[in-house]
Amino acid sequence: MEKSLTPENSDNLKTIKATIDTHYTREQAAAMNPLALAYIGDGIFSDLIRKYLLGCGHQNVNFMTKTSISYVRASAQAQIIRTLLPELSDTEERMVKRGRNTASQVPKNANPSDYRYATGFETLLGYLFLCGEVERMENLIYQSIDVINNLNKA
């Protein structure tokens, strides 16, 4: 499944577009390495948090960077997934567990349990995105923002 970009095809825009636009079945996405799914999920979540902060009217980049941390740090994502877990389908819950249980290097500034749950959350987002369940993914992200906003109020 791994695609290599060689000098012969790296400048071929059709090849690049086709690689980016690859669609995956649920089975193909579920069979992927959970850390690869988490990699995609992390990028998507971070991007949508940035769009959310910009959409709230913030334009100070330093402020947005500091504020985004309250949404994307491992402890926040762990709280999100623990809150949303009862609302997940069996398949979604399995993806969270696969990501959570995957061996990975935990950063020294992170709580290991939080980091693993955060990886599970990101794995779920990556899975939903790659198998085309973008509306479901976005709804979970909207709920995630609400979870963190409510925690920040407390």
- Residue 14's pLDDT is 84
Domain assignment present for residue 13? The answer is: no
More reliable by pLDDT, 90 or 153 = 90
Confidence of residue 8 (pLDDT cuts 50, 70, 90): low
Cβ partners under 8 Å of residue 104, min gap 6: 35, 115, 116, 119
Q: Give residue-wise pLDDT tens across range 43-83.
A: 999 999 999 999 999 999 999 999 999 999 999 999 999 99
Of 40-44, 87-91, 94-98, 102-106, the poorest mean pLDDT is in: 102-106
Residue 9 has pLDDT above 70, yes or no: no
- Residue 107's pLDDT is 87
Look up the pTM and report it: 0.89
Domain assignment present for residue 65? The answer is: yes
Residues 27-36 have a mean pLDDT of 96
42 is catalytic: yes
Domain assignment present for residue 6? The answer is: no
Q: Domain of 58: which CATH number? A: 1.10.1520.10
* Structural domain count, the chain: 1
Domain assignment present for residue 32? The answer is: yes
Domain assignment present for residue 29? The answer is: yes
Domain assignment present for residue 4? The answer is: no
- Residue 55's pLDDT is 95
Domain span at residue 145? 23-153
- Residue 105's pLDDT is 86
Residues 92-98 have a mean pLDDT of 97
75: left (phi over 0), alpha (psi -120 to 50) or beta: alpha
Domain assignment present for residue 58? The answer is: yes
Domain assignment present for residue 62? The answer is: yes
- Residue 95's pLDDT is 98
Which one of the listed residues 42, 47, 90, 146 is annotated catalytic?
42
